Chain A
Amino acid sequence: MFFALMGAVLAVTLACIGSAKGVGIASEAAAAVIIDDPSKFAKLLILQLLPGTQGLYGLVVAVMILLKIGVLGGSPNISLLAGLLYLAAGLPAGIGGLISAIAQARVAVTGVTIVAKKPSESSKAIISATLVEFYALLSFISSFLMVMNIEKLGL
């Protein structure tokens, strides 16, 4: 039980740490631009929020684990081995989210300079930042598939 919960904890906390750091870094850069030109706020907001999605993926994985192990209603009763498996399943979303969010934030910061100097090219900045996002998605998908299928092992 404890290990399964730990899997949910790691998935959501690590991903959220990454997102918090990422959004923080991107927002600092964006704030510096907004000082000079508040009208760019809407465009910059997208770049600021992009590193924030990793936290969401972590949350989804955590919720799925909680559902599966019966913390959110149902009977919380699983074996030690299954608990360890859930712990393992939570890791991709957590670690992948943590590192990809920070990497994405660095792209976003450069994107902020693009928006500051050439606002018409902002979509290119956003697309560049999404390239990183894909790896967070891959981590999320693998975590999700693991969590969904552990109970089928019958442990």
Chain B
Amino acid sequence: MKRIEVIALQSDAKSIVEFLQRSGTVEISQRPGSTRPAYAGTAEDSSLVQLHTHVNITQFDKTLHMVNSALAVLHEYVPAKKSLFASFTGRRELSLTEFSARSHKAEETLRKANEIIALSRRIEAAHVVITHTRSQLEAMLPWQDLDIPMQFSGTDHTSAIVGSLPALYTEESLLAALMESFGIESGGTDALLREVDDMAGVGQLAHPLIFSEERADEFPPVFISVISSSREITCVVVICHKDDEPLVRRTLRRVGLSIHSDPTKHPPAVRIARFRARIAEAQAEIADASAQLAGHKHERDSLEFLSDYYLMRRDKYEALGQLRFSRKTFVLEGFIPQKNTKHLEEVMNRHFNVSVTFEDPSEDENIPVLLQNNPLVSPVEDIVESYSLPSRTDLDPNPAMAFFYYLFFGMMLSDAGYGVIIVAATLAILRFLKPEGNMKRNIQKFFLCGLSTVFWGALFGSWFGNIVYVVSTTFLGKNISLAPLWFDPVTDPLKLLILSLILGFIHIMVGLALRFYNMCRHGEWLDALFDIGLWWVVFAGLGVVVGSMALTVTFPLQTIGLWIAAAGGLGLVLTQGRSNKSIIAKLFGGIASLYSITGYFSDILSYSRLMALGLVTGIIGTVVNTIGSIGGGGIGGAVIFIIIFIAGHSINIGINALGAYVHVNRLQYVEFFSKFYEGGGKAFKPFGIKTKSYKFKEDK
């Protein structure tokens, strides 16, 4: 990684920034704390200014937001048909001439975007109208049979009270309730006596009259008509003499009357018809706008282009904002990977009148990290990235990790048939769908993992479980089976367990070796010798013990091994407490360090998962085949077999590939990285074209 500094004429600023954006190799970042650029002309330093581009950026953000919401509207109302493999495919290619042709149509497309958004607003507004009107309509429906307007207040001598009560009433029961309530309030006062004959002008109503003749001395005569009633609500019209109104109203309120305010002069039936018409109108509006939106579905392409286009311009202005200008020139600072320096300098000098200088970044800077590996290793870079990028004191763990990654993945899936499927599928995706970036690396990673799976599957003799044996015995009546190239793990699981643990031991040793190398690289060779070298002595001694036990050469070798291990242990006791101050603390520190042997022990045991997952795949595959063969030979049996074969093995491959992937990551992260790797680096984020739908070819 190098520091790059570009000094050029102001008039070239835009085209240089555009060029850098297309090349995508420079991360623009100003040197921290250096306000003074490293070129002569001190008089001009104070006049170096930055452009205020955030106004433009906000503008672009607004436009981008608009275009994207237009796209979202299209996605919601006119969803595009996406193929199953859409997430694998790369961006569409666009040449530079096409690009400029399309960018000229930006205005027009923008207008379309506006139309689309306006249409979606219309739909939303119509939806609001519908919900609002519906609730009005529902409130009005109980009143459907009322043939006078709801605000009708009475005739010359009578008062009408139109309202609803929160319970179920009939005309009689309401009257009873009113009188009971009245009785409680006034104790049947004489002052409220009224003549029945005073009720006038009520006969014109079609509903039955209920006079409270017999109890006229207790409650004023009223006319009650129930319009509709249900358990929740009873709609009533109560008519009484004008003079009685306050009393009747008060009594009604005590029973729970609420007055509906309907400002119009039309009876409910008319209102209901109008509400219904309004809803129909809004629905027609929605249908109309949706149809128009569907007509815009061809705009999706140009909208996606526009979104990319404005994103690019926005990024460009953001970059421009980081430049510093004098009266005639400008300065651009940033990071560039070493491999790109030469090419960039050449091209820039050819096209522009510039001075390009490179220098090593200073020690205390937080230099961004760009991983760079050969094609076999680079597919696993994502795995390291999702853990943490290497800091500047770390080694790049990728090369060491890649080998074990593929090895362990294959060992855990360990079925040659599944490996072949993975290899074929990944090859097909790489060939026909042309994925990009991370997705491409992922697919490559699984391709290599698939190869390793075939390798291990062949060693263990597992092809879709024991497919050859089952098919040959069930359908051909012969007894053929593919012999494993090495050994069959199901009959000899102990051998596989030991193999797993040995591989784990090697993996951990490689991790320690990397730490040893890294410490030596930083000149801490003495620490490396004490911290790691002495552990190697212990492991070597224990290795001799275990080896001699396995070979049953007991006497001399085992004792020698024990002595070697003890010597290593003694060395650890003497050296591991060296950072402590007092002698006692040093000794305790040393003894405590011996406990980390349990850590190593459990780390190595952790690799038994290689065995377990490998066994599971093979045995489940075998079970699937056994179930499949229950139909016996013949056509029917073959059909059953094929169905069960496809379903069973798809499930098995899915769940075990998932298991292998997850556990191989864990082995790398927990067991391997903990030995030597710290992480904490910052990713290199070059200024480039970060479009979603299109990529641009350079016209040469």
Q: Which residues of A contact B (CB under 8 A)?
A: 46, 49-50, 52-53, 56-57, 59-60, 63-64, 72, 120, 123-124, 126-127, 130-131, 133-134, 137-138, 140-141, 144-145, 148
Q: Which among B493, B623, B662, B666 has the greatest number of chain A C-beta atoms within 10 A? A: B662
- Taking CB atoms, residues of chain A closer than 8 Å to B560 are none
Interface residues on B, range: 20 to 34
| Contact of A49 (CB < 8 Å), options: B612, B655, B663 | B655
How far, in whole Å, are A59 and B616 apart by their CA atoms in the complex?
Answer: 9
- Taking CB atoms, residues of chain B closer than 8 Å to A72 are 626
How far, in whole Å, are A126 and B612 apart by their CA atoms in the complex?
Answer: 19
How far, in whole Å, are A87 and B655 apart by their CA atoms in the complex?
Answer: 28
B626:A137 contact, CB within 8 angstroms: no
- Which chain B residue lies CB-closest to A63? B623
A59:B620 contact, CB within 8 angstroms: yes
**A–B Cβ pairs within 8 angstroms, 13 of them:** A60-B615, A63-B619, A120-B386, A124-B386, A126-B662, A126-B665, A127-B670, A134-B609, A137-B613, A138-B605, A141-B612, A144-B493, A148-B494
Distance in angstroms from A11 CB to nearest chain B CB is 13
Q: Is B26 an interface residue (CB 8 A)?
A: no
- Taking CB atoms, residues of chain A closer than 8 Å to B619 are 60, 63-64
Chain A residues touching B, majority SS: helix
| Contact of A56 (CB < 8 Å), options: B620, B663, B665, B669 | B620
Q: Is B611 an interface residue (CB 8 A)?
A: yes
Distance in angstroms from B446 CB to nearest chain A CB is 15
Q: Is B658 an interface residue (CB 8 A)?
A: yes
Q: Is B497 an interface residue (CB 8 A)?
A: yes
A56:B615 contact, CB within 8 angstroms: no
A148:B493 contact, CB within 8 angstroms: yes
- Taking CB atoms, residues of chain B closer than 8 Å to A137 are 608-609, 612-613
Distance in angstroms from B551 CB to nearest chain A CB is 22
The answer to whether residues A141 and B497 also contact, given A64-B619, A126-B665 and a CB cut-off of 8 A, is yes
B666:A53 contact, CB within 8 angstroms: no
How far, in whole Å, are A124 and B679 apart by their CA atoms in the complex?
Answer: 14
| Contact of A46 (CB < 8 Å), options: B623, B662, B670 | B662
B626:A127 contact, CB within 8 angstroms: no
A60:B670 contact, CB within 8 angstroms: no
The answer to whether residues A53 and B493 also contact, given A63-B623, A137-B612 and a CB cut-off of 8 A, is no
Per-position 1/0 for B472-488, Cβ under 8 A of A: 00000000000000000
B663:A123 contact, CB within 8 angstroms: no
Distance in angstroms from A133 CB to nearest chain B CB is 7
- Taking CB atoms, residues of chain B closer than 8 Å to A46 are 658, 662
A130:B658 contact, CB within 8 angstroms: no
- Taking CB atoms, residues of chain A closer than 8 Å to B611 are 141
- Taking CB atoms, residues of chain A closer than 8 Å to B623 are 59, 63
- Taking CB atoms, residues of chain B closer than 8 Å to A123 are 386-387, 665
Per-position 1/0 for B604-634, Cβ under 8 A of A: 0110110111011001100100100000000
Distance in angstroms from A99 CB to nearest chain B CB is 17
- Which chain B residue lies CB-closest to A126? B662
How far, in whole Å, are A131 and B615 apart by their CA atoms in the complex?
Answer: 20
